[in-house]
C-alpha cells in the first residue's frame, strides 16, 4: 500500500496544478494572439493596463481609485494562488467593483487594455467568471462579448456552462432568445440578472446599457411564459420593488415598464399592488411623472383585485410638481 500523502505534499501538488497553465506557452489575452502573449513580459502588460486605466480615468475620474490597488507596482509580483482566503476576498472585492464600474465602458478600447492586465496578473478569466459576466452580459450580441467569453474557464457547476457550446465553441454572439430560454429553464440565472442591477445600483454605477438590457430581458421573459407562477414572483417582485425605489431615473423608468407589463400577465393581491404603486410614487420627480402615471393607469386597468386607488399613493401623487398638466 502506498504511503499516505502528507498535508504539505498535497498543498505543493495543488499549487503545482494551479500554476501549470501559467507555465504554458499559451496565455489568455484579449489583445494578442495566445502564443504572442506568452512572449510579452509582465511589465509590458502592466504598462498596457495602465494606459487603459488612464483612458478610463479620462471618461470617469472614479477609476483613479484603482491606480494604487489593482494597477499598482505593489501587486505586480503578487501571486493570488499563494494568498490566504481573507486576502483573496479583499482582492475579489476590488476586482468585482472595478468590473462593475467598467461595464458602461466595455466597448471602449481602454477597457480591453485594462482587462488585459487583470487577466495576466490576477487570472480573472479563471477566478472571477461571475463578475466578468456581470460586466459583459449586456453586450451579449457583440463580438467583444464573444472574444472575452472564449477566454473564460467556466466551472462545471456554473449557470453559464451553456456558453461553452453556444459561444465558446461556435464563436457566435449569444442570441437573446436563447438567454431568455435559459432563464426560464434555470431561475437562478434570472435571479443573477436582477442581482446585477442591484449590485450596480449599490455601487453607484450609472449604466444605461445594463438598464435597457434588463428591461428588455425581463419583459421578454414574462412574455415568453404562458403563465407567471409563484416561483417567478418570488424572484421578480422583491427586485422590482428595489428598482422602483432607486434614485436613478432610467432604472425607475425601466421598473415602471416591467411593472406595467407584469400587471397584464398576472393577477396580484391588493396588498402587493398597493406596495408596488406606492413605490412608483415615492420621491417621484417631474422627469418620471408621465411614465409613472401611464404605469399606474395600466396597472389599475388590469388588476381586478385593486378595488380602489390607494389613498396614500393618491395624496403623494397630487403633491408632485406638474401633475395637473398630465391628469388634466
**Concatenated DSSP letters of 110-159:** HHHHHHHHHHHHH-HHHH-HHHHHHHHGGGTTSHHHHHHHTT----TT-T
What pLDDT is attached to residue 17?
A: 44
* Residue 157 cell numbers, joined: 457547476
The CA distance from 105 to 210, in Å, is: 11
What pLDDT is attached to residue 323?
A: 53
Contact between 208 and 138 under an 8 Å Cβ cutoff? The reply is no
Residue 111's CB: how many other CB atoms inside 10 A? 24
What pLDDT is attached to residue 324?
A: 52
**What is the residue whose three cell numbers read 431615473?**
249
**Under the phi-then-psi rule, with left for phi > 0, alpha for psi from -120 to 50, and beta for the rest, what region is 305?**
alpha
> In degrees to the nearest 10, what's the CA dihedral of 189, 193, 199, 200?
150
What pLDDT is attached to residue 314?
A: 73
Residue 67's SS3 state is coil
What pLDDT is attached to residue 229?
A: 94
pTM to 2 decimals? 0.87
**How buried is residue 9: exposed, middle or buried, by Cβ count under 10 Å (0-12/13-18/19+)?**
exposed
What pLDDT is attached to residue 25?
A: 65
**What is the residue whose three cell numbers read 501571486?**
79
**What is the residue whose three cell numbers read 431568455?**
180
pLDDT profile of the chain (328 residues), mean per 10: 48 46 71 88 95 98 96 88 93 98 97 98 97 98 98 97 96 97 97 97 96 98 96 96 93 96 94 91 81 90 85 72 50
Contact between 103 and 136 under an 8 Å Cβ cutoff? The reply is yes
Amino acid at each position: 500500500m502506498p504511503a499516505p500523502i502528507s498535508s504539505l505534499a498535497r498543498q505543493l501538488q495543488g499549487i503545482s496544478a494551479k500554476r501549470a497553465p501559467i507555465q504554458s506557452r499559451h496565455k489568455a489575452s484579449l489583445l494578442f494572439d495566445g502564443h504572442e502573449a506568452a512572449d510579452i513580459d509582465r511589465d509590458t502588460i502592466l504598462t498596457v493596463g495602465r494606459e487603459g486605466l488612464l483612458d478610463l480615468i479620462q471618461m470617469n475620474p472614479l477609476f483613479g481609485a484603482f491606480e494604487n490597488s489593482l494597477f499598482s507596482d505593489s501587486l505586480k509580483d503578487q501571486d493570488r494562488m499563494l494568498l490566504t482566503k481573507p486576502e483573496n476576498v479583499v482582492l475579489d472585492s476590488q476586482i468585482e467593483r472595478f468590473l462593475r464600474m467598467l461595464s458602461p465602458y466595455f466597448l471602449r478600447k481602454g477597457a480591453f487594455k485594462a482587462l488585459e492586465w487583470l487577466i495576466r496578473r490576477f487570472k480573472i478569466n479563471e477566478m472571477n467568471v461571475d463578475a466578468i459576466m456581470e460586466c459583459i452580459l449586456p453586450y451579449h450580441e457583440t463580438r467583444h462579448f464573444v472574444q472575452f467569453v472564449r477566454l473564460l474557464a467556466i466551472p462545471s457547476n456554473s449557470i453559464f456552462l451553456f456558453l461553452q457550446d453556444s459561444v465558446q465553441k461556435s464563436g457566435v454572439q449569444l442570441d437573446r432568445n436563447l438567454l431568455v430560454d435559459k432563464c426560464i429553464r434555470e431561475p437562478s440565472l434570472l435571479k443573477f440578472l436582477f442581482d446585477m442591477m442591484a449590485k450596480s445600483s449599490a455601487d453607484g454605477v450609472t449604466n444605461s446599457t445594463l438598464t435597457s438590457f434588463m428591461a428588455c430581458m425581463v419583459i421578454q421573459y414574462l412574455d415568453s411564459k404562458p403563465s407567471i407562477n409563484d416561483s417567478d414572483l418570488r424572484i421578480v417582485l422583491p427586485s422590482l420593488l428595489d428598482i422602483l425605489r432607486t434614485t436613478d431615473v432610467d432604472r425607475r423608468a425601466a421598473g415602471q415598464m416591467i411593472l406595467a407589463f407584469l400587471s397584464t400577465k398576472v393577477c396580484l393581491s391588493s396588498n402587493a399592488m398597493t406596495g408596488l404603486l406606492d413605490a412608483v410614487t415615492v420621491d417621484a420627480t417631474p422627469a418620471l411623472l408621465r411614465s409613472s402615471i401611464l404605469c399606474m393607469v395600466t396597472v389599475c386597468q388590469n388588476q381586478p383585485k385593486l378595488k380602489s386607488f390607494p389613498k396614500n399613493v393618491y395624496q403623494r401623487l397630487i403633491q408632485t410638481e406638474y401633475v395637473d398638466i398630465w391628469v388634466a
